[in-house]
Amino acid sequence: MPTLFTRIINGEIPGRFIWRDDRVVAFMTIAPIKPGHVLVVPISEIDHWIDAPNDLRNHLMDVAAQIGQAQMSAFHPARVGIIIAGLEVPHLHVHVIPIDTERDLNFANANGSATDGELEEAAGKLRAVLAGNPNVSGV
């Protein structure tokens, strides 16, 4: 059975995409810890990050870094943090989160009632910063 993320990647469930290439996608999480919180996900269903081939892990982190640089420009946080937890969906994903303190890296802070407008506004800011990159995606 496909994972939730595979269903988003395949367009069966809506997603606010920021990035899409032949190996990974990046989209807004529906429960952001901070505005601009993005998930970077391989297209291949890999459950645990340690099971991913080295080249895919490297590519995933390269894309996460580009998203993080865009978050720095768009949201002006003190830092950009990442979390690879992998407990909630059995599909490797990197949470890339604009943060101001270490306390911001806590899933208890997730905003499960973020509106479509708030999520789209954050996505638009990131797409604008990344404009010109052929992998930037609005679909």
Q: What is the three-class DSSP state of 51?
A: helix
Residue 139: inside a domain, yes or no? no
The whole model's pTM is what? 0.95
Q: What is the mean pLDDT of residues 88-109?
A: 96
**Nearest alpha-carbon partner for 23 in 37, 4, 40:** 40
Residue 136: inside a domain, yes or no? no
Judge whether residue 105 has pLDDT over 90.
Answer: yes
Residue 137: inside a domain, yes or no? no
> For 12-69, what is each residue's pLDDT tens digit?
999 999 999 999 999 999 999 999 999 999 999 999 999 999 999 999 999 999 999 9
Q: How many structural domains comprise the chain?
A: 1
pLDDT band at 124 (very low <50, low <70, confident <90, very high): very high
Judge whether residue 139 has pLDDT over 70.
Answer: no
Share of the chain above pLDDT 90, in %: 91
Q: How many CB atoms lie within 10 A of CB 59?
A: 18
CA distances from 42 to 36, 54, 91, 101, 124 (A): 19, 13, 8, 28, 22
Residue 135: inside a domain, yes or no? no
Tell me the pLDDT of the chain averaged across its residues: 95
Judge whether residue 138 has pLDDT over 70.
Answer: no
| Per-residue model confidence (pLDDT) at position 132 | 84
Pairing type for strands 17-20 and 38-42 reads unpaired
Identify the domain containing residue 52 by its residue range: 4-130
Residue 11: inside a domain, yes or no? yes
Catalytic residues: 93
Residue 58: inside a domain, yes or no? yes
Residue 44: inside a domain, yes or no? yes
Give the CATH number for residue 83: 3.30.428.10
Residue 88: inside a domain, yes or no? yes
Query: DSSP readout, 102-139?
Result: GGGS-GGG--TT--HHHHHHHHHHHHHHHTT-TTB---
| Per-residue model confidence (pLDDT) at position 114 | 96
**Paired tokens of 129:** 């910063």
